[in-house]
Structure 1
Amino acid sequence: MRAQIEVIPCKICGDKSSGIHYGVITCEGCKGFFRRSQQNNALYSCSRQRNCLIDRTNRNRCQHCRLQKCLSLGMSRDAVKFGRMSKKQRDSLYAEVQKHQQSQEQAAPKEEPESHSRSYSNSSSAGLSDLDDISALADGLLFDLPLTPEGASYYSVELLASAQSSPEQCSVELSDARLIKQEYEPSLFSPLPEGTSVLEIERVSQNIVKSHLETCRYTAEELKRLTWTLYTQEEIRTLQSKSTEAMWQHCAHQLTNAIQYVVEFAKRITGFMDLCQNDQIILLKAGCLEVLLIRSCRAFNPVNNTLLFDSKYAGTPVFKSLGCDDLINAVFELAKGLSRLQLTEEEMALFSAAVLLSPDRPWLTDTQKVQRLQERVYLALQSCLQRSPTSKEKLTKMVSKLPLMKSICNLHMDKLEFFSLVHPDTAYSFPPLYREVFGSEVQYPDSSER
């Protein structure tokens, strides 16, 4: 079970696979092709006899035959929309991973015992899943989360340890960066729409900044005082000696606490609670980790490359036992890159709200309403940034981080998916809120199966 899924070739075209996508082990190209075909309700035709060979070199020549192969091998249309694998699919994948491990052991009987843990540590390094695939919330956990009472203790919003990825894996194509820049920048540096007053935009800004500050664990002054509160070598060794399952459990609980404050942040944004419940849940599931990644820069110390984790500053070695070095490194690299921008609390709050209120999330009921909310935030961010002489340069750098953030979120999903295959019982015991937010492509064991 600890064999790398990625060494099993893509079932569709034979290219290097990147994980389990929509119920089948596939490469990134076939995963994206299948998702787009379902989201766009595409209708393809074949100019030949509908029996085209689909392999790595000619997979783009016939979309019709490629889609038919995806479906015939078990890629699920429902998984694109709801993100769920059937029990049959999960059991089949589980058996395939076991079979592959057995074949590896037979081929190399003298393999050292440590090799499996090494392969698991580096597994899914190229794996990117879709955080945007939404499943229904059975218990309404996100919607029903109450606001934390005044005076209650907070956990750090910057606890990102359960998500990391390699800079190489998360590198962004220049064309993608340009595309995103074109999408965001025009609306940010444009005149106020007719009927929109400066006072109204100022109220939006004040509301979002207040919501942001109220849902951060520490003030800037408190973070400054904690800067040199580091994990001791003994504490680091203790955390490194934890089993993979125990460390994942620990980080899942910490991240769950952090998610609650993003929920609070969203619920305090004027207009968010006016959205239908479905759209609130979709925006939170798709955007909460991105908001946490943005907030990570306020709790990052660039002097020693440490990030606040459970009230102390931790370097990457603290998270070694997670078995996700690539993911951890990418989170730290992103935090470092964001910290260089020296975002003010106002800029950070408005940027977070703009990312959270993304109208392009799949399966939203009222995209126009979400878009109107986002546009108001954009205008507030525009007003905020224009106070700086380097406003456009700063905005470009902020926007350039978005694809990397998305890649980190995707890699976290892929790591969680693989972990859940290897350790289903531990994954089932994760906090319910964590499972609801990040369970879109992960099939957890049913309680009836236990």
Structure 2
Amino acid sequence: MSKELEELSPLGDSIHGDGSEEETEEDDEPKICQVCGDKSTGYHFNAMTCEGCKGFFRRAMKRPTQYCCPFRNVCVITKSNRRQCQSCRLQKCLSIGMKRELIMSDEAVKKRRIQIRRKRMQEEPVTLSPQQEAVIQELLAAHQKTFDMTCANFTQFRPLDRDQKAISEWNQEPDSSKYSHQIMCKVSEDTMHMAISFTSCSSTSSNSKQPENNERKQLNNIILTSLPHFTDLTTYLIKNVINFGKTLSMFRGLIIEDQISLLKGATFEIILIHFNMFFNEKTGIWECGPLQYCMDDAMRAGFQRHLLDPMKNFHYTLRKLHLHEEEYVLMQAISLFSADRPGVTHHNVIDRNQEILAVTLKTYIEAKRTEPDKHLLYPKIVACLTEMRSMNEEYTKQVLKIQDIQPVSPLLLEIVSKDS
């Protein structure tokens, strides 16, 4: 019998509460095996033995073989000759009190080993792999290159007009959804192709069903005073999101059609995540360098409560998580690599990329966070990602409605347009 089998792992049966006890005496004197005199590793099956005799007893009790002593059944078992007479060795095991009923089943041993392995993994510090570190550094570099956290360029947009009268007229309409049937906007993908190629965006055509004359007059009387500024702001941010994606090696490896589909699906969500970095949860204000925004500004741009109310709740919820910059950029990337976006063809590749990002985020939280409830952070982030998907659909509907009242940019229309 090989030494490897003889010296089986002590994970099998040397377990408190399962028939074995660890040596707890405080003296430092070496303990010897009561069977063969070898160095003992503790109590196994109710007797102090070495690992070899522990393994021998377990195997002997599980086998139906009847051992026979070639001598007179009076062999003296020692460390050197313990393998020569299995019969006398087994009798010695029984004579010192080793009990068969304390042997664990193979299934119980396997289960216990898994538990011990998991416990050791929990005790060992979690660390990011070199590959995960590289992913995070690439995302951080892309974010810092494409998103200006000082918001210095916000001063280049058309002024933010906070005309209260105009917004009150818009909100007086009790059923603003009556106009939604009037909008059937189609925009070619030429604009998106050009944007991804970092060229200027050309004008796109829009085919909208014209409302009746009296309804058109009602729409023309509505002035969305903040819309010009928000149109400039959104166009600027869309270009930043495109540049962010194009900076990532994972994204560049996809075919151009999938790049377009992912950008169209995730742009609104990535902008939401980005803007959350500026949100002050104490005041409810987005503090963007030289400018500050509130929900009323979005209403003056034409957006309505059934989008803005859940959006504000989302910003409070996400901001209160106090995410690190690394967690923010990983969240943006997870949103970007969503294989279930309309128009995506290579689902498996995108799914694998998202899985890498999700595992990296979870590992980062485990490795870098010290809070006792840190295990709750990852599912909370996933819940926020899910919430953004529902807001994304409503955002698309409202942008198309606003376009029928007051024009927005061709690039924004291309982002929210559905593939024909």
TM (norm. structure 2) is 0.50
For the residues of structure 2 that align with 1:239 and 1:332, how far apart are their CA atoms? 22
- 8 Å CA contact retained: 1:236, 1:317: no
User: What residue identity is the alignment partner of 1:206?
Assistant: Q
The structure-2 alpha-carbon separation of the partners of 1:249 and 1:438, relative to structure 1 and needing over 3 Å to count, comes to farther
Look up the equivalent residue of 1:370 and give its one-letter code.
Answer: I
Q: How does 1:78-93 map to 2 (within 5 A)?
A: none
- For the residues of structure 1 that align with 2:418 and 2:390, how far apart are their CA atoms? 16
Per-residue deviation, residues 232-278 of structure 1 (Å, max 9, x unmatched):
9x956598599534533432221111111111111111221110000
Give how far 1:363 is off.
2.6
Aligned equivalents of 1:267 and 1:335: distance in 2? 27
Indicate whether 1:383 and 2:363 are aligned.
Answer: yes
The yes-or-no answer on 1:353 pairing with 2:305 is: no
Matched with 2:264 is 285
Q: Which runs of 5+ in 2 are unaligned?
A: 1-120, 123-127, 170-221
Question: Counterpart of 2:392?
Answer: 409
How big is the shift at 1:360? Answer: 2.0
2:141 is matched with which residue: 173, 195, 210? 210
Letter in 2 for 1:283: L
Residue identity in the other structure for 1:318: D
Q: Which runs of 5+ in 1 are unaligned?
A: 1-189, 192-196, 444-450
Q: Which residue of structure 1 aligns with residue 315 of structure 2?
A: 335
In 2, Cα distance between equivalents of 1:283 and 1:211: 17
Q: What is the distance in 2 between the residues matched to 1:341 and 1:277?
A: 35
CA distance in 2, matches of 1:200, 1:258: 29
Q: Is structure 2 residue 249 aligned with structure 1 residue 270?
A: yes
| Counterpart code for 1:392 | H
For the 8 Å contact 2:226–2:297, the answer to whether it is kept is no
Paired residues of 2:139 and 2:330 also in contact (CA < 8 A):
yes
Give, as a single letter, the amino acid of the residue that structure 1 aligns with 2:360: A
**Where does residue 201 of structure 1 map in the other structure?**
132
Q: Report the 3-state secondary structure (helix = DSSP H, G, I; strand = E; otherwise coil) of the residue aligned with 2:277.
A: helix
Between the aligned partners of 1:415 and 1:235, the Cα distance in structure 2 is: 20
Counterpart residue number, 2:205: none
Alignment of 1:151-190 (within 5 A): none
2:241, 2:267 within 8 Å by CA — same for their partners in 1?
A: yes
TM-score (norm 1): 0.47
Note if contact 1:240-1:319 (Cα within 8 Å) is conserved in structure 2. Answer: no
- 2:231 equivalent to 1:248: no
Which amino acid is the alignment partner of residue 433 of structure 1? L
Q: Distance in 1 between matches of 2:299 and 2:263?
A: 29
Aligned: 1:418 with 2:401: yes
Task: Return the offset for 1:287.
Answer: 0.5
Matched residues, number: 234
Tell me the distance in 2 between the aligned counterparts of 1:359 and 1:323: 31
- Evaluate the alpha carbon distance shift between residue 403 and residue 382 of structure 1 in structure 2; reply closer, same or farther with a 3 A threshold: closer
* Partners of 2:298 and 2:167 in 1: CA distance: 7
1:392–1:249 CA distance, 2 compared to 1 (3 A): same
The aligned residue for residue 383 of structure 2 is 400
Task: Write the letter of the residue equivalent to 1:201.
Answer: Q
| 1:118-157 to 2 correspondences below 5 Å | none
Would the aligned equivalents of 1:307 and 1:332 in 2 still touch at CA under 8 Å? no
Counterparts of 1:246 and 1:413, CA distance in 2: 20
Structure 1 pair 239/266, CA: closer, same or farther in 2 (3 Å)? Answer: farther
| Distance of 1:253 and 1:241 partners within structure 2 | 23
Q: Secondary structure at the match of 1:358?
A: coil
Q: Structure 1 residue 317: deviation in Å?
A: 2.4
Question: Could you tell me the percent identity over the aligned residues?
Answer: 23
1:304 aligns with 2:283: yes
SS state at 2:292 partner: strand
Q: Which has the higher contact order (CA 8 A, sep 6+)?
A: 1
Cα 1:379/1:244, change in 2 over 3 Å:
same
Corresponding residue of 1:435 = 413
Q: Counterpart amino acid of 1:432?
A: P
Check the 8 A contact 2:265/2:342 in 1, yes or no: no
Aligned AA for 1:377?
L
Alignment-mate amino acid for residue 408 of structure 1: M
Please list the CA deviations of residues 27-84 of structure 1 after superposition, one character each: whole Å capped at 9, or x if unmatched.
Answer: xxxxxxxxxxxxxxxxxxxxxxxxxxxxxxxxxxxxxxxxxxxxxxxxxxxxxxxxxx
Distance apart, 1:319 and its partner CA: 3.3
The alpha-carbon distance between structure 1 residues 314 and 363, as it changes in their structure 2 partners (threshold 3 A), is closer
